[in-house]
């Protein structure tokens, strides 16, 4: 019970009676009294987390906007009944809450972590009797997080687009750079290939011209050397028959030289495109037969089975007589060049139909050395010369090129089949008729097949002079039979002459006959001259034999290579025969002088007074090969001879009055004496060359053997 006093009366009030009879007035609305954000009251006109939320009283505000950081808020409201027991409300937050929520909220509702968006908060009072009052509404907008804003998304989209554009441009630039790189790499590769190709062509041309120059030296040698003899000795020395034979050979080799120069000029005409056809309508069978017969004597001399098979007795074609003659002769010449003694060469002529055209087929096959697969596709290229060890001494790079060109300008074609060790087969197809020459520049001439074969004397002169020959012998290793025959003609009256046509045969004859001196070419079949010299120097039985290299290769590196291999002298073709004779005689005399000196210094026993004794010669060779070895002694000598020391001493005692160690010292001193007489080296140099490192010991040993000091020996 409440009481209020006044001036005239007092007033009493019973709340229980009032509540029990209280009813909400009609039209009483709920008002929003307070707003809290993050559990803090929002003041009017002040910033909350960087945002001014209320610019007026909340009662006067119909909508509010909250930033994303202010999305946790609470709303206070009242229906002005001032009674908590009677304060019952229904509310909802659209669209977050679609159904009404009824309860005694004590005038406050809170929301947290609402997503961004537009909301409407609705609330209405409810009386005790259940009557609902009018709905009060407050619009609330929660702004999205900056990362969810449309501007940010547009910014992100722009960024993504810019980044994608950047990546696109970067990839485009990368592709362009890669394409440029590939293009530059391709251009560089093509440039290198062109440069390598040009370099290869240049090297091939240089090799070809060097090889051709060497090839020219052979006929020049066989021309100039006999002429030098004729000029020096005069024609009166020779009989008319001998003089005629020598002049015939000079003429023959002059024609060979002319043929080589003609090939060079013809090749130049091919490159310039100035080769002209002179066509004749002739029977090709007599031409092929006549060419083949020119090789008949050569087949007999080389013991080669040369067969001709003609499927047709006549075959008339339009062809250039001289050019086709040269082509067939070249193929036959190659066949004979690459076929060894006892081999077979077959020439077959027949008619064949190729692609509907009737052709004359000329097939030349042999069972010679064959052509390696790796060069089979290049044999018709100009300037191509094999880099492998040659099976013949010289190889020109234009012969087959000219053959291929000749066949091409006749609108034919040529094929080749070959296997190493089994031989080669060249097949030429020349079409019949004349229509295929339409559009070509040619001249029709009348031709007659007539023999132009050169009568060549293949028979060796075997006449031996009855004058007494010396006991010396010469081995000539030369693949060119004519050069070999000429060198033989220089020495056969004075020496016993052995001949070998290739390096392998030369080695066999050197071991068999042990000649006094060897004259060898460098470029030879099977084994070249350098290989022969090296092997002869390694063998004790042949290490002492003087060797003269006689070759067309005259460059310094060739001379150095030959001397390092063990050659005693080097002579370049074309050579002066008198120079060769002087060198041969000088080397033989020097070797004889050395033998006499060895015989004297080694105190050979009378019954065995022959330096030719194989064992003593082997001992001397081993000692000479070890001159520069200062520590060379009896034990090492026995090891090199593959015998024991007692056996060595016993054998030396059998042939010489010296002991083994004295024999080694005597050979050194004898060699020093020979070097002193040559007057090419100083005494100090000779001392070192024969294996002495002490000049005092060298002088003492020299004095003991010759009774004079080394410096006075040349005056003795």
Over residues 335-345, the mean pLDDT reads 87
Beta bridge partners of 362: 349, 428
pLDDT in tens, 78-107: 877 666 665 688 899 999 888 998 877 778
Average pLDDT over residues 113-130: 86
What is the reported pLDDT for 483? 83
Residue located via tokens 């999305």: 71
d(CA 483, CA 485): 5
Structure tokens at 584: 């041969």
Model confidence band, residue 713 (pLDDT cutoffs 50, 70, 90): confident
- The better pLDDT of the pair 531, 612 is held by 531
Q: Is the pLDDT of residue 119 over 90?
A: yes
pTM over 0.75: no
When comparing pLDDT for 534 and 207, which is higher? 534
Sequence-distant (6+) residues with CB within 8 A of 231 are none
Residue indicated by tokens 């977050």: 96
Residue 636 φ then ψ, to 5°: -70, -35
Taking residues 457-467, report their average pLDDT: 35
Q: Which residues make Cβ contacts (< 8 Å) with residue 696, sequence separation at least 6?
A: none
Q: What is the pLDDT of residue 642?
A: 83
More confident residue, 295 or 82: 295
User: Rounded to whole angstroms, what are the CA distances from 478 to 26, 40, 101, 294, 378?
Assistant: 145, 121, 127, 24, 29
pLDDT at 153: 83
Average pLDDT for 135-161: 87
pLDDT at 162: 93
**Whose CA is closest to 502, among 515, 520, 489?**
520
Residue 525, pLDDT > 50, answer: yes
Report whether 315 contacts 351 (CB < 8 A): yes
Residue 427 has pLDDT above 90, yes or no: yes
- Computed on alpha carbons and rounded to an integer, the radius of gyration of the chain in Å comes to 58
The whole-number pLDDT of residue 467 equals: 39
Higher pLDDT, 148 or 474: 474
Mean pLDDT confidence for 560-577:
83
Q: 459 pLDDT exceeds 60? A: no
Q: List the structure tokens of 549.
A: 């290299």
Predicted pLDDT at 305: 92
684 or 575, which is more confident: 684
Per-residue pLDDT of 634-651, as tens digits, reads: 888 888 888 888 888 888
Name 75's Cβ contacts closer than 8 Å, sequence gap at least 6.
32, 34, 35, 36, 108, 109, 110, 121, 138
pLDDT bin (cut points 50, 70, 90) of residue 466 is very low
The overall average pLDDT reported for the chain is 80
Cα 55 to Cα 387: distance, rounded to the nearest angstrom: 104
CB-facing half-sphere around the CA of 221: CA atoms within 13 A? 26
pLDDT score recorded for residue 306: 92
Lowest mean pLDDT among 320-329, 500-509, 652-661: 652-661
Token representation of residue 688? 């070192």
What is the pLDDT, as a whole number, of residue 407? Answer: 92
Rounded Cα distance, 65 and 140, in Å: 6
304, pLDDT greater than 60: yes
Element spanning 19, H or E: helix 15-20
Pairing verdict, β 357-366 and 10-13: unpaired
C-alpha distances in Å from residue 46, one per residue of 61, 75, 493, 576: 15, 18, 139, 126
- Whether the per-residue pLDDT at 363 is higher than 90: the answer is yes
Helix and strand element counts for the chain (H, E)? 20, 26
Listed residue (371, 500, 498) closest to 424, CA to CA: 371
pLDDT of the residue at 256:
73
- What is the pLDDT, as a whole number, of residue 463? 36
pLDDT grade for 388, boundaries at 50, 70 and 90: very low
Please tell me what DSSP assigns to residue 330: H
pLDDT of residue 498: 92
Predicted confidence (pLDDT) at residue 454 exceeds the cutoff of 60 = no
pLDDT digits (tens, 9 = 90+) for 581-600: 888 888 888 777 766 666 55
Q: pLDDT tens digit string along 438-451?
A: 888 888 887 555 44
Given this model, what pLDDT does residue 235 score?
Answer: 57
Report pLDDT for 605: 47
List pLDDT tens digits, range 662-701. 888 888 888 888 778 777 778 888 888 888 888 888 888 8
- Residue pair 671/645 in contact (Cβ under 8 Å)? The answer is no
Return all residues near 670 (Cβ < 8 A) that are at least 6 apart.
Answer: 594, 597, 598, 601, 602, 705
> 225-281 pLDDT, tens per residue?
777 777 776 656 667 777 777 787 777 778 777 777 777 777 777 777 778 888 989
State the residue for tokens 């047709």. Answer: 312
């Amino acid at each position: 019970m409440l009481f209020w006093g006044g001036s005239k009366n007092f007033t009493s009030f019973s709340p229980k009676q009032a509540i029990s009879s209280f009813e909400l007035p009609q039209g009483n609305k709920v008002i929003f009294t307070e707003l809290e954000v993050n559990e803090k009251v929002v003041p009017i006109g002040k910033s909350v987390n960087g945002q001014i939320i209320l610019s007026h009283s909340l009662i006067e505000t119909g909508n509010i906007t909250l930033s994303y950081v202010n999305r946790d808020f609470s709303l206070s409201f009242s229906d002005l009944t001032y009674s908590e027991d009677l304060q019952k409300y229904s509310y909802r937050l659209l669209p977050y809450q679609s159904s009404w929520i009824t309860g005694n909220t004590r005038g406050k509702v809170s929301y947290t972590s609402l997503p961004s968006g537009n909301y409407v908060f609705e609330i209405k009072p409810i009386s005790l009797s259940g009557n609902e009052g009018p709905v009060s509404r407050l619009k609330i907008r929660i702004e999205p997080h900056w990362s969810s804003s449309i501007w940010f998304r547009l910014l992100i989209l722009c960024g993504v687009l810019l980044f994608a554009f950047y990546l696109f441009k970067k990839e485009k630039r990368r592709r362009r750079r890669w394409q440029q790189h590939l293009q530059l790499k391709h251009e560089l590769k093509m440039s290198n290939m062109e440069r390598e190709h040009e370099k290869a062509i240049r090297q091939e041309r240089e090799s070809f011209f060097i090889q051709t120059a060497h090839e020219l030296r052979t006929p020049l040698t066989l021309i100039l050397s006999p002429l030098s003899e004729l000029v020096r000795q005069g024609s009166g020395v020779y009989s008319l028959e001998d003089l005629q034979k020598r002049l015939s050979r000079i003429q023959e080799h002059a024609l060979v030289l002319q043929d080589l120069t003609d090939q060079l000029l013809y090749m130049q005409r091919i490159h310039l495109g100035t080769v002209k056809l002179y066509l004749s309508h002739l029977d090709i069978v007599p031409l092929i037969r006549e060419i083949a017969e020119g090789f008949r004597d050569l087949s007999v001399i080389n013991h080669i089975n040369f067969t001709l098979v003609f499927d047709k007795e006549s075959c008339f074609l339009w062809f250039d007589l001289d050019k086709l003659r040269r082509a067939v002769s070249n193929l036959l010449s190659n066949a004979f060049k690459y076929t060894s003694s006892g081999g077979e060469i077959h020439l077959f002529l027949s008619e064949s139909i190729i692609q509907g055209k009737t052709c004359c087929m000329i097939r030349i096959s042999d069972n010679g050395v064959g052509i390696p697969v790796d060069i089979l596709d290049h044999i018709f290229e100009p300037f191509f010369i094999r880099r492998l060890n040659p099976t013949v001494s010289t190889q020109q790079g234009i012969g087959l090129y000219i053959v291929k060109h000749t066949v091409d300008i006749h609108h034919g074609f040529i094929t080749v089949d070959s296997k190493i060790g089994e031989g080669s087969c060249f097949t030429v197809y020349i079409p019949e008729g004349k229509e295929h020459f339409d559009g070509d520049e040619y001249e029709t001439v009348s031709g007659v097949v007539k023999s132009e074969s050169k009568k060549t004397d293949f028979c060796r002169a075997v006449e031996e002079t009855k004058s007494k020959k010396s006991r010396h012998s010469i081995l000539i290793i030369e693949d060119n039979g004519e050069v070999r025959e000429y060198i033989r003609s220089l020495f056969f009256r004075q020496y016993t002459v052995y001949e070998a046509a290739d390096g392998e045969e030369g080695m066999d004859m050197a071991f068999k006959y042990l000649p006094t001196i060897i004259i060898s070419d460098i470029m030879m079949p099977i084994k070249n001259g350098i290989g022969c010299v090296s092997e002869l120097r390694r063998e004790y039985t042949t290490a002492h034999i003087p060797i003269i290299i006689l070759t067309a290769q005259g460059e310094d590196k060739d001379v150095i290579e030959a001397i390092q291999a063990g050659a005693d002298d080097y002579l370049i073709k074309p050579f002066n025969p008198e120079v060769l004779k002087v060198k041969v005689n000088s080397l033989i005399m020097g070797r004889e002088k050395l033998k006499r000196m060895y015989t004297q210094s080694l105190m050979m026993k009378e019954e065995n007074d022959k330096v030719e004794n194989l064992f003593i010669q082997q001992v001397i060779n081993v000692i000479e090969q070890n001159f520069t070895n200062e520590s060379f002694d009896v034990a090492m000598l026995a090891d090199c001879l593959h015998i024991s020391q007692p056996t060595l001493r016993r054998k030396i005692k059998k042939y010489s009055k010296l002991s083994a160690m004295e024999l080694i010292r005597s050979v050194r001193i004898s060699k020093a004496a020979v070097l002193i007489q040559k007057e090419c080296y100083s005494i100090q140099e000779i001392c070192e060359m024969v294996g002495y490192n002490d000049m005092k010991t060298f002088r003492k040993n020299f004095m003991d053997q010759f009774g004079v000091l080394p410096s006075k020996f040349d005056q003795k």
